[in-house]
Amino acid sequence: MGNSALKSHLETSQKTGVFQLTGKGLQEFPEELQRLTANLRTVDLSGNKIEVLPATIGNFPQLKSLTLNSNRLAGIPSEIGKLKKLETLSLNGNRIQQLPPTVGQLKALRTLSLAGNQISEFPSGLGTLRQLDLLDLSRNKIQNVPAEVSELQAIEINLNQNQISVVSAEVSRCPRLKVLRLEENCLELSSIPQSILNESQVSLFSVEGNLFEVKNLRDLEGYDKYMERFTATKKKFA
């Protein structure tokens, strides 16, 4: 991609606060964006070949949305924690194995999307994200959902297509959790904490494609309570 094309993109971004350059084969984060640190609010560099998110990403205090889906990122710099206005962080389809603890400093974050990476342990330290609505960790290599999950404020947690065989009963204590997706994992019926059915706020519990027939959920204590929540939610959105 020529310099003139990049230059015109930069000029447009100067006015709009949006920089979008997708599917152009970029191999690194454009350092020219440093000229726009004061007013850049949205960056989308999806579908490129970027391997490193530079530490200078922390220099964009106005950034609200950062999207680098389908790149080659192996990690996230700790400087990401400086983005106090960031509401959406979408890094689907990369090679990320873990998150820096500073992700917990993204106080405005509403959507954290990390589907299709190489994360093998449920990320810790996300309980400080008080605004978090959606946590998408689908298509990773996570094997268990730990007790610490109870600290999460998320409304939806997507863990479809992992390798999960253990789910802590503490998940039922998530204060705002309404949608829990655990499709296509390695769960036995006996691994499902009954507290999700009879004590949680969860009104959509999605477990197709595990090691049991979904209809057998009906045999668990609390299933009727869960169905009351499920039906009430369906009516609300009907």
pLDDT in tens, 12-28: 999 999 999 999 999 99
Distance separating alpha carbons of residues 152 and 149, to the nearest angstrom: 6
The pLDDT assigned to 142 comes to 98
Domain positions in the chain: 1-236
pLDDT for 154-188, tens place per residue? Answer: 999 999 999 999 999 999 999 999 999 999 999 99
The answer to whether domain 1-236 has CATH 3.40.50.1970 is: no
Instruction: Using pLDDT thresholds of 50, 70 and 90, give the confidence band for residue 3.
Output: low
Could you give the CA distance from residue 212 to residue 228 in angstroms, rounded to a whole number? Answer: 23
For the record, the structure tokens of 189 come out as: 């019926």
pTM for this entry: 0.96
* Residue 139 burial (CB count, 10 A): 19
Residue 238's pLDDT is 66
